[in-house]
Amino acid sequence: MYYPRSFLKFILLGFLLVSLPLVYALVELLLSLDRLATQSRTEVLHASQAARSSRLLFEQATTLERIARQEIILEDPALIEDYGRVRQEFAQTTEQLGLLPLEKASREALSHMREREAALFAVLRESPRPPALVENVAGGYSALVEEAQGMLSASTQLTQRAIERLQETASQGREKWLWLALASVAIALALALTFALLIARPIRQLDQAVRQLGTADFRHAIEVGGPQDLRYLGQRLEWLRARLHELEQQQTRFLRHVSHELKTPLTAVREGAELLRDNVGGRLGPEQQEIVRIVRENTLSLQKLIEDLLTYHQSRALETATIAPVSLPDLVRRVLREQKLATSARLIDVETTLAPVVVAGDVERIRTIVDNLLSNAIKYSPRSGVIEIALAARDGFAVLDVADHGPGIAAAERERVFDSFYSGKPPPDGKVKGSGLGLAIAREYALAQSGRLEVLDRADGGRGVRFRLWLPLSLGAARADVAATPDRDAVTAGDRR
C-alpha cells in the first residue's frame, strides 16, 4: 500500500479521494440542470413560435380568401397586387412553421396548403375565368382556411409534446440523479472506510506499542507502518523498547549481584545471632539476650525485604509461567506448614474451610500469592487472634478468602495497598513495618493468571479485613458444588500442621 511521506498529506489525500465522487455528482447535477434549462427554453420558444405562426397563418389565409373573392367579383388589378403582398407573407409564415419540429402529418398538411394556395393563385390570375373554375376557386380558398385553422391545433399539439418531453426529461433526470447520488455516496463511504482503516492501522499499532511498553513487555519488536513520519515514530519507539530492555537486563543483573553480595554477610550476621541466642559463646544476661533478639528480628526483616524485592522484580518481568492443574487445598496446607513458626510465635489460630477444587496456574506463583496473604494476615492479627481461610468454587472460579481480626483497612486505602512500596498503618505490637511489596506481588501474579485479588469487609461485619482471591478452575477437573463437603480444620497455637 502506497503511503505519502506525511501523515497530514495522507489525510488530505483521503479527503480528496472521498470528495471526488461527491464533486462529480454535483458537477453532473449542475450540467443536467443546465441541459434541462436549455431544453426548456428551446421548447418554450418553439411552442410560442408555433402558436404565433399558426395564428398568423390562419389570419393570412382568411385575408387571401377575402381578397380572392373580391377580385373574382370586381376583377380589380389592384386587388391582385394586395393578394401578392399577402401571399408573400403567407409563404414566409409557412416556411417558419416548416422549420419547427412538427409532426409528419402537420408537415404534410403544411406542404399541401402551399400547393393548394399556389394552384388557386394560378387560377385566379387566368383571364377570362370560366364560371366552373370560379366556383372551384371559392371552394378551394374555404378549404385553405380550414387547413390553416387546423394548424392552430397542430401548434397546440406541439406545445403539449414539448411539455411531455420536458416531463420525461425531468423524470429521467431525477432517476439518473438518484442513482448517481446513491453510487456517489456508496463510493465515498467505501473510500472513507478504506482510508479510515488505513489511517487507524498505524494508530492502532502505535497504541499497541505504547501499551506494550506500559506493561514492561520488551521482548517483542515494535513495527509501525503507514506514512514515513509514523514509521519514524515507530522506529523511535523500537529504539526506546530496545533501550528499556537493555536497562531491564542491567537491572536484573544488578539485583542478582546485590542480593548475592547482601545475603552473604547477612547470613553470617544471622548465624552469629542464632549462635549467641543458643548460648554457644556463653550464657547471656537478659539485656544481652534482648539485644540478640533485636539483631535477629531485624536480620530476618532485612532478608525478607531482599527476597520480596527480587520476587517483585520477577513479577514485573512477567516471565512465562508454567500452567498446570494445582490442588489449591493442598497448596494452602503447604503454606500453613511453612508459616507454622510465625503463627506459633504469635499464638494465632488458623481456621480453614477448604473445598476440593483444582485450579489452572503456576504452582509457585499461586504459592507466593497465598503465602503473602497469610503473612499479611499474621502480621496484622492481634496476639492470640484467629485467621479464617475459606475455599470454594463459584462461577468457574476458585474463591479463596483470607480474613483476620486486625485493625482493618480504610476504604480510601483499599486500592492503594496493592501499589508497589505502599505501606499502610504499622502493624500492632510495634513490629517492623513491611516492604510494601507483598500485596503488589500477589496482585501481579493473580492478574497474570487470569484471576484477580480484591479487598472486602469481613463476612460477619466484624473488625478486620478479608482478602479474596479469584483463580480460574482447571478444565476437566472436578469442581466443588453445593453437594460437596468442605474440609474443615482448625489450626491452633497448640496443635499445628
The answer to whether residue 138 is domain-embedded is yes
> Is 392 within the bounds of a domain?
yes
Inform me whether the pLDDT recorded for 494 exceeds 70.
Answer: no
Read off the CATH number of the domain in which 181 is found. Answer: 1.20.120.1730
Pair 180, 28: CB distance under 8 Å: yes
pLDDT at residue 22 greater than cutoff 70: yes
Task: Please name which of 409, 363, 390, 360 lies closest in space to residue 468, comparing C-alpha atoms.
Answer: 390
Domain assignment present for 213: no
Q: Count how many Cα atoms sit within 13 Å of the Cα of residue 20 in the half-sphere of its side chain.
A: 10
CB 158 within 8 A of CB 79: no
Residue 424: is its pLDDT beyond 70?
no
Q: Which among 257-271, 443-457, 466-480 has the top mean pLDDT? A: 443-457
- CATH number for position 466: 3.30.565.10
- When pLDDT is averaged across residues 273-295 and rounded to a whole number, the result is 77
In a domain, 206, yes or no: no
pLDDT value, residue 244 = 83
Q: Give the count of beta carbons closer than 10 Å to the beta carbon of residue 326.
A: 23
Q: What is the number of domains present in the chain?
A: 3
pLDDT bin (cut points 50, 70, 90) of residue 479 is: very low
Buried b / exposed e over 217-248, threshold 16 CB at 10 Å, is ebeeebebebbebbbebbeebeeebeeeeeeb
Same-domain status, 253 and 180: no
pLDDT tens-digit series, residues 53-66: 778 878 888 887 78
pLDDT of residue 481: 42
Tens-place pLDDT, residues 242-279: 888 888 777 777 766 666 666 667 777 777 777 777 77
Those residues with Cβ within 8 angstroms of residue 87's Cβ, 6 or more apart along the chain or in another chain: 64, 117, 121
Q: Are residues 179 and 328 in the same domain?
A: no
pLDDT band of 1, cuts 50, 70, 90:
low
Question: Among 319, 334, 349, where does a domain finish?
Answer: 319
Closest CA to 134 of 224, 183, 73, 210: 73
Give the C-alpha separation, 414 to 424, whole Å: 10
For all residues of the chain together, what is the average pLDDT? 77
What is the reported pTM? 0.46
Q: How confident is the model at residue 430 (pLDDT cuts 50, 70, 90)?
A: very low
Structural domain boundaries enclosing 30: 7-194
Residues 358 and 437 in one domain: yes
Q: Taking 90 as the threshold, does the pLDDT of residue 298 lie above it? A: no
In which band, very low, low, confident or very high, does the pLDDT at 435 lie, cut at 50, 70 and 90? low
**Residue 402: per-residue pLDDT:** 93
CA distance 409 to 424: 8
Could you tell me if 288 and 408 lie in one domain?
no
Give pLDDT, residue 399.
Answer: 93
Q: Are residues 182 and 224 in the same domain?
A: no
Evaluate whether 418 touches 473 at the Cβ level (below 8 Å): no
Residue 241 lies in a domain: yes
Of 26-40, 63-77, 184-198, 314-328, the least confident: 314-328
For the chain, percent helix, then strand, then coil, each to nearest 5? 65, 10, 25
| pLDDT value, residue 134 | 63
Domain shared by 74 and 108, yes or no: yes
Q: Model confidence over 152-172: pLDDT tens digits?
A: 777 777 777 777 777 787 787
357 closest CA partner among 322, 394, 403: 394
Give me the mean pLDDT over the 346-366 stretch: 89
Residues 334 and 463 in one domain: yes
Of 258 and 67, more confident: 67
The neighbouring-strand residues paired with 490 are 351
- For residue 43, pLDDT over 60 is answered with yes
The answer to whether position 202 is within a domain reads no
Q: Which of 319, 352, 381 is the last residue of a domain?
A: 319
Q: Which DSSP string do the residues of 298-321 spell out, in sequence order?
A: HHHHHHHHHHHHHHHHHHHHTPPP
**Closest by CA position to 373, among listed 388, 385, 358:** 388
Residues 386, 486 within the same domain: yes
pLDDT of residue 480: 42
- Same domain assignment for residues 121 and 258: no
Element housing 30 (H / E): helix 7-74
**Predicted pLDDT of residue 261:** 65
In terms of average pLDDT, the best of 70-84, 115-129, 261-275, 385-399 is 385-399
The answer, yes or no, to whether residue 492 has pLDDT greater than 50, is: no
Q: What is the CATH number of the domain that holds 275?
A: 1.10.287.130
In a domain, 228, yes or no: yes
| Element spanning 349, H or E | strand 349-354
Domain co-membership, 305 together with 328: no
Confidence grade of residue 485 (pLDDT, cut at 50, 70, 90) = very low
Query: Cell numbers of 408, please?
Result: 482493618
Is residue 223 over pLDDT 70?
Answer: yes
- Residue 387 pLDDT level (bands cut at 50, 70, 90): very high
Q: What percent of the chain has pLDDT over 70?
A: 83
User: Looking at the structure, do residues 295 and 349 belong to the same domain, yes or no?
Assistant: no
Reported confidence tier of residue 471, pLDDT bands at 50, 70, 90: very high
pLDDT for residue 317 is more than 60: no
Please return the burial class of 300, using the count of CB atoms within 10 Å of its CB with bins 0-12, 13-18 and 19+: middle
* Percentage, residues of the chain above pLDDT 90: 8
Spell 405-439 as b/e; 16+ CB within 10 A means b. Answer: bbbbbeeeebeebbeeeebbeebeeeeeebbbbbb
Is residue 226 within 8 Å of residue 207, measured between CB atoms? no
Last residue of a domain, one of 295, 319, 343: 319
Give the span between the Cα atoms of 294 and 288, in whole angstroms: 10
Could you tell me if residue 427 is inside a domain? yes
- Is the pLDDT at 70 greater than 60? The verdict is yes
Residue 333, pLDDT above cutoff 90: yes
- 299 and 371 share one domain: no
